[in-house]
Amino acid sequence: MSVFSTVEMAPRDPILGQSEQFNLDTRPVKANLGVGVYFDDAGRLPLLACVQAAEKAMLSAPSTRGYLPIDGIAAYDNAVKALVFGADSEPVQSARVATVQAIGGTGGLKIGADFLKKLSPDAKVLISDPSWENHRALFSGAGFTVDSYAYYDAEKRDLNFDAMLASLNAAAAGSIVVLHACCHNPTGYDISPGQWDQVIAVIEARGLTPFLDMAYQGFGHGIAEDGAVIGKFVAAGLNLLVSTSFSKSFSLYGERVGGLSVLCTDKEQASRVLSQLKVVIRTNYSNPPTHGAAVVAAVLNDPELRALWERELAQMRLRIKAMRQQLVAGLKAAGVRQDMDFINRQIGMFSYSGLSRAQMLRLRNEFGVYGTDTGRMCVAALNPQNLAHVCQAIAQVLE
């Protein structure tokens, strides 16, 4: 008998499975709003000019490919720290942030999860209800019991902030709370700066450990604006973990570029934390890959390329916003009588459309418009070519 004879088939990833279905769909007009990827107005995945410029410079002075240090490229880690906390911020100036390069934002979350599991084996992890579906799997996979805190009210199609605060108030001391720093995935609803203050006060009072997932810095209101929430945690004197992803903001999905930053109490503590993060990395994949982080470091550390990146990122952010507005207007023009203005109050790549599973299935089967069964649509995949069709299709299923 084979040792593998009892292996069960794992369920297919719901979103990636749908993309396969989309690619096989032969209808001439179709739209893939399922996967969380930014496409430009022509429906193409962008290759940013800042990335191309950095790669061109790298090609003209080719570098060898030795092992990187366990914690990655130092210039990259410093750039991540500066982006997340601010170059002149007190935590960076006093060297109390431990930052490591990670394999995408997912890798940052996983390093943090493994580190926390060793430190607080009995802590529970709380994620938002709903959340990015990999949060639960990732923290459960790291050995944690994962519960959720209230976040979204499906009936009101809005945040349920009172319920969120109540859940956090009821959390056991020492629980780890995973928070979306901006551009909440999947709902598209972020809490306001004032609401962050209230959340931070509860985290402090209950002795919770905040873990911020920052997968979309710059996709919401701007790089500094989206990062401002970190400053609030710093001001409150809390310790925290922040995972960073450059998948979306640099359109470098396949390069797997991310990071983990841990805000410690002082420099000496940060060096102990860093040593433990390195143990986690060493025993998982030894050290990170070279290319993606070298590109990001080259862009972030060069004033001209950095300015170019900021312009390109702003273009992506503004295009998504314009698509939201055109979606709302298009739905109205297509005869939708319900108030769909909530789509303009959402932020980032996604919209929780409020459509039911049955309506989402109809969209897919009858109109070739693919979103998730939960009603999430990627607004960043809308473009002038598919918008009218998407609006017509939604209008039909809402009738």
Of residues 247, 261, 353, 386, which one binds ligand PMP by CB under 6 A? 247
CA angle, 136 as apex, 273 and 99 as ends, to 5°?
25
Q: Count residues binding ligand PMP (CB under 6 A).
A: 12
Nearer to ligand PMP, 45 or 170 (CB): 45
Distance (Å, whole) CA 278 – CA 70: 6
Nearest distance from C-beta of residue 107 to ligand PMP, angstroms = 7
The one catalytic residue in 110, 213, 226, 309 is 213
Of residues 185, 217, 383, 386, which one binds ligand PMP by CB under 6 A? 185
At 318, give phi and psi (nearest 5°). -70, -35
Nearer to ligand PMP, 135 or 319 (CB): 135
The one catalytic residue in 132, 190, 226, 309 is 132
The one catalytic residue in 30, 81, 117, 248 is 248
Nearest distance from C-beta of residue 288 to ligand PMP, angstroms = 13
Polymer length in residues for the chain: 399
Distance (Å, whole) CA 241 – CA 332: 42
Residues 264 and 97: beta-carbon distance below 8 Å:
yes
Per CB under 6 A, contacts with ligand PMP among 290-319 are: none
* Residue 383 sits in the site that holds ligand PMP (CB under 6 A): no
Torsion of CA 100, 104, 108, 111, to 10 degrees: -90
248 in catalytic set: yes
* Residue 36 sits in the site that holds ligand PMP (CB under 6 A): yes
Distance (Å, whole) CA 130 – CA 352: 11
Distance (Å, whole) CA 287 – CA 241: 20
Nearer to ligand PMP, 123 or 215 (CB): 215
213 in catalytic set: yes
Per CB under 6 A, contacts with ligand PMP among 97-156 are: 104-106, 132
* Residue 34 sits in the site that holds ligand PMP (CB under 6 A): no
Nearest distance from C-beta of residue 328 to ligand PMP, angstroms = 23
Nearest distance from C-beta of residue 141 to ligand PMP, angstroms = 14
Nearer to ligand PMP, 185 or 261 (CB): 185
The mark string for 65-104 relative to ligand PMP (x by CB under 6 A, - otherwise) is ---------------------------------------x
Of residues 213, 226, 255, 312, which one binds ligand PMP by CB under 6 A? 213
Nearer to ligand PMP, 33 or 391 (CB): 33
Active site residues: 132, 213, 248
Chain residues that interact with ligand PMP, rule: CB under 6 A: 36, 104-106, 132, 180, 185, 213, 215, 245, 247, 258
